[in-house]
Amino acid sequence: MAKCAAGVLLVAAALASPGGPAASEIGTAAPASSHPGLLLEAGFDTGQVYLNAQAVYTVRFYQAIDVRELHLQTPEIQFAELRRIGEDRIDQETLDGRRHRVTERRYAVFPFASGTISATGAHAAGLVAVPGAAPGTRAPVRLEAPAATLDVLPMPAQAGSGPWLPARDLTLTESWSPDPRDARVGQALIRTIRIEATGLEAALLPELVPVGDGITAHPGPPRLANRFDELWNVGSREQDWRIVPTRTGTVAIPEFHLDWWDARSGERRTARLPGRTLEVAPAPALSLSRLLAAAPAAGENVDVREADAGATAGDVSPQASDPVEERSAGQYLSGTEAPPDDSRLLIFSALFAVAMALAAYVAWRCTRRPDRAALRALRTACRRNDPHAARDALLAWAEASRPDSRAQTLNNVIPLVPGPLSRRAIAELDRHLYGPEPESWQGTRLMRFPRS
């Protein structure tokens, strides 16, 4: 056996020349027809490893002679996942006073069954010069690596009942956006939680769900990644959570803790994220005038009566005359000769007064019934497929129709709505605003609110 520079216990096999005897090691005496300048080492970095934890399998090929078309075959290992670590490393090393070129290839091994596993089939192949033959004559050679075994230990009882996470190191980190000190009711804070484990695959890292009285948590899609840091796989899981405060005052977010198993020392350890306290301010006051400013533009009628009133109020004005040809009021009404100028002015003044009266009546109704104004703004938002405007209109409707409810989030609005379809549509709107990365939102389901 031989021991490589990285401390890997390897099984060595020497390559015999075509038709000649095998040399047991580099540098041993061999007949002149042999090629003692080739050696293959292969093996695991350790004799035992925990289930799911990473081991390293290394193949090293030494050559003191020229080898053309060198090929290193990947080993076969049952009940384990095998991944190559980076590119081949080429180095120079002196053995028994002779300079050798060393080609090293490393694999990460992740066993998924306990017991003994074997790595077989690793070999080196290439073309070497044939002694005594014409210049340029080469023959194929192949060097087999003996089988290497690895004992896989099961999960120990001391590991506990949580996720089984055997790693060399594990850390928890977090970030917030915007600053959690600016928390307001109904406004989402993005909390990004990252788990990073050395010697473990990312797929095994669990989801950490934020909890707390006074918040709702909406997950984004997790981002899993594996990368190599020297010999060791570093698995990471990063996930964004939309944290939505549901009440004012002090909201406590408890500490996160995650138990893991130290694969090097054989001990149970715990990674932690400290708890946090949010001082939640009230949601910004919703202005009825701001909602009314979102009223339909020309052609976006809310209903027939409102559209007629809006058209009467907006289309008629003292300057409503034909820019191409000036015609009298009498011609518009009867097609006869125009009345005197004073009569025409009186007719237009009367029409303008009627329009102003209608506009004043609509404004008075909105003032007396702010819930209708909120519904009008909601339907406008639904037609424009504007989820944020729809949320504001729903909160304004809840404040106007049920002031005692103190609804500050969409979840507070849902119990106030009688129609099951509307309740479902509001829940979908909430998931769109605070759930994973949203697609386009369609407001058709809320068009019949609150009747459906």
Q: State the Cα–Cα distance between residues 329 and 345, nearest whole angstrom.
A: 9
DSSP string of 151-167, one letter each residue: EEEPPPGGG-SS---EE
**Is the domain 157-280 a CATH 2.60.40 member?**
yes
Q: Of 80, 200, 197, nearest to 150 (Cα)?
A: 80
Structure tokens at 313: 């109020």
Q: State the Cα–Cα distance between residues 143 and 27, nearest whole angstrom.
A: 17
Angle at 195 between CA 189 and CA 197, to 5 degrees: 170
Residue 390's pLDDT is: 83
Residue 400's pLDDT is: 78
Parallel, antiparallel, or unpaired for β 98-111 and 76-77?
unpaired
Tracing tokens 């095994």 back to the chain, one arrives at 204
334-393 pLDDT, tens digit per residue, is 444 555 556 666 776 777 777 676 665 555 454 446 677 888 888 888 888 888 888 888
**What DSSP designation does 201 have?**
-
Residue 52's pLDDT is: 97
Q: Cα 107 to chain center, whole Å?
A: 28
Q: State the Cα–Cα distance between residues 205 and 237, nearest whole angstrom.
A: 7
Cα distance between the two ends of the chain: 80
Residue 30's pLDDT is: 31
Q: State the Cα–Cα distance between residues 148 and 153, nearest whole angstrom.
A: 17
- Which strands make up the sheet holding 138-144, listed edge to edge? 68-73, 123-129, 138-144
Q: Are 378 and 390 in contact (CB under 8 A)?
A: yes
**HEC string of 219-263?**
ECCCEEEEEEECCEEEEEEEEEEEEEECCCEEEEECCEEEEEEEC
Residue 227 contacts by C-beta under 8 Å, 6 or more apart in sequence?
A: 233, 234, 236
Please state the domain extents for the chain: 2-153, 157-280, 288-322+340-446
- Please report, in tens digits, the pLDDT of each residue of the chain (452 residues total): 444 433 344 444 544 333 333 332 323 323 222 356 899 999 999 999 999 999 999 999 999 999 999 999 999 999 999 999 999 999 999 988 889 999 999 999 999 999 999 999 999 999 988 887 888 888 898 999 989 999 999 999 999 889 999 999 999 999 999 999 999 998 899 999 999 999 999 999 999 999 889 999 989 999 999 999 999 999 999 999 999 998 999 999 999 999 999 999 999 999 999 999 999 999 876 555 555 555 554 344 444 344 333 333 444 344 444 444 444 444 444 444 555 556 666 776 777 777 676 665 555 454 446 677 888 888 888 888 888 888 888 888 887 777 776 677 787 788 888 778 788 888 888 878 876 656 678 888 787 777 66
Q: Considering Cα of 356, then 357, then 358, then 361, what sign does the dihedral take? A: positive
Q: State the Cα–Cα distance between residues 427 and 414, nearest whole angstrom.
A: 8
For the whole model, what pTM was predicted? 0.65
Name the strand (E) or helix (H) holding 27.
none
Residue 260 contacts by C-beta under 8 Å, 6 or more apart in sequence?
A: 165, 166, 167, 170, 197, 268, 269, 270, 271
Q: State the Cα–Cα distance between residues 60 and 104, nearest whole angstrom.
A: 4
Q: Are 401 and 449 in contact (CB under 8 A)?
A: no
